[in-house]
């Protein structure tokens, strides 16, 4: 009886996350996917067809027959959407690389700091989260404006002789993104570096390996899980970012999140907006699936 109860408890424990994913991910995705197969209409909701449960089998057949791929054809026929996707992937990829280059030394220093200071360093890393995200982005508007703190500091240091235009440029978007997503890169890297066994580096040093070689051949490979986790945690949300490019960027930094907002709220074209969201989701899920397949292959090879 105890074994049967334990078995049901394990099944329930496994089932709960799947139910959670179905309720909060799969069902909303299917709703959005269905809207992407609809057509825009001056109605409420602003698309057709709408499934009528009281229509019976005939109503269901009519509903399925009215679905189409017109919204996806619109995405392929208008270069604006392709340009927005490519710009989003470009900004997300470059920002993620910059975050990794800056975040890895910071995480490494945190992991090598005295144990009594590591907790304080972690708190300082997540300290920006104590303030509203929107307020932090608005603060960067003041910092990057023509007579803002950044230009004043650069003029005082002699780096520039006249104020530089930062706002409404790609540089402002990159600065805002790197600042906002910095903790998402540092914390996974710190977790991977902090749990490494110091004896491995000591053994490499005893075998005559110089510090730089030990770092590249021992430390970096052992922190691969943190690198992958930080990369995915940054790249995926950056690709769909809306607030930062909308407030700090200009007309040359139209990302797919802004295009989606325009279609949904300004144009009220829910089917096209849903198609944009579905394609974006497919683009972002692809690297995760590739990584999982690679990890599964590595595991099978190791066995």
Task: Specify the pLDDT at position 6.
Answer: 65
To the nearest whole percent, how much of the chain has pLDDT over 70?
Answer: 95
pLDDT category of residue 3 using cuts at 50, 70 and 90: low
Question: Model-level pTM greater than 0.95?
Answer: no
pLDDT surpassing 60 at residue 54: yes
Give me the mean pLDDT over the 78-97 stretch. 94
The backbone torsions φ and ψ at residue 209, rounded to the nearest 5 degrees and listed phi first, read -80, 130
Task: Specify the pLDDT at position 299.
Answer: 52
Task: Specify the pLDDT at position 136.
Answer: 94
Task: Specify the pLDDT at position 149.
Answer: 93
pLDDT surpassing 70 at residue 297: no
pLDDT category of residue 185 using cuts at 50, 70 and 90: very high
Task: Specify the pLDDT at position 303.
Answer: 56
Give me the mean pLDDT over the 141-169 stretch. 92
Contacts 24+ apart (CB under 8 A), 74-82: 74/272, 74/275, 75/272, 75/275, 75/276, 75/279, 80/259, 81/256, 81/259, 81/276
pLDDT surpassing 90 at residue 85: yes
pLDDT surpassing 70 at residue 196: yes
pLDDT category of residue 209 using cuts at 50, 70 and 90: confident
pLDDT category of residue 301 using cuts at 50, 70 and 90: low
DSSP string, the chain: -HHHHHHHHHHHHHHHHHHHHIIIIIHHHHHHHHHHTSEE-SSSSSEE----GGGHHHHHHHHHHH--SHHHHHHHH-HHHHHHHHHHHHHHHHHHHHHHHHHHHHHHHHHHS-HHHHHHHHHHHHGGGGS-HHHHHHHHHHHHSTTSHHHHHHHHHTS-SS----TTSHHHHHHHHHHHHHHHHHHHHHHHHHTS-HHHHHHHHHTT--HHHHIIIIIHHHTHHHHHHHHHHHHHHHHT--HHHHHH--GGG--HHHHHHIIIIIS--HHHHHHHHHHHHHHHHHHHHHHHHHHHHHHHHH-
Which residues are 100's β-sheet partners?
Answer: none
CA–CA distance, 281 with 28 (Å, rounded to integer): 12
Task: Specify the pLDDT at position 110.
Answer: 95
pLDDT category of residue 93 using cuts at 50, 70 and 90: very high
Give me the mean pLDDT over the 183-209 stretch. 91
* Widest distance between CA atoms in the chain: 81
pLDDT surpassing 90 at residue 237: yes
Q: Are 274 and 35 in contact (CB under 8 A)?
A: yes
pLDDT surpassing 90 at residue 7: no
């Amino acid at each position: 009886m105890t074994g049967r109860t334990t078995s049901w408890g394990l099944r329930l424990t496994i089932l709960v996350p799947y139910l959670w994913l179905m309720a909060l991910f799969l069902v909303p995705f299917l709703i959005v996917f269905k809207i992407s197969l609809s057509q825009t209409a001056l109605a409420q909701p602003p698309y057709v067809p709408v499934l009528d449960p009281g229509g019976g089998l005939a109503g269901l057949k009519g509903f399925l027959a009215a679905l189409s791929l017109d919204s996806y054809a619109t995405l392929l026929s208008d270069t604006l959407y392709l340009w927005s996707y490519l710009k989003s992937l470009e900004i997300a990829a470059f920002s993620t690389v910059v975050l990794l280059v800056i975040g890895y030394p910071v995480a490494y220093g945190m992991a090598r700091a005295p144990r009594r200071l590591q907790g304080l360093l972690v708190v300082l890393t997540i300290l920006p989260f104590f303030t509203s995200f929107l307020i932090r982005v608005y603060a960067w508007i003041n910092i990057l404006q023509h007579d803002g703190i950044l230009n004043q500091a650069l003029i005082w240091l002699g780096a520039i002789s006249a104020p530089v235009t930062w706002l409404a440029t790609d540089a402002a978007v990159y600065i805002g993104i790197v600042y906002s997503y910095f903790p998402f890169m540092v914390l996974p890297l710190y977790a991977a570096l902090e749990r490494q066994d110091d004896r491995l580096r000591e053994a490499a040093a005893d075998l005559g390996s110089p510090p730089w070689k030990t770092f590249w051949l021992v430390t970096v490979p052992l922190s691969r899980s943190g690198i992958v986790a930080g990369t995915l945690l940054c790249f995926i949300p950056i690709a769909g970012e809306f607030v930062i490019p909308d407030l700090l960027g200009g007309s040359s930094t139209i990302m797919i999140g802004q295009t989606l907002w325009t279609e949904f709220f300004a144009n009220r074209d829910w089917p096209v907006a849903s198609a944009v969201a579905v394609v974006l989701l497919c683009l972002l899920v692809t690297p995760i699936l590739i990584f999982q397949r690679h990890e599964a292959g590595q595991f099978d090879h190791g066995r």
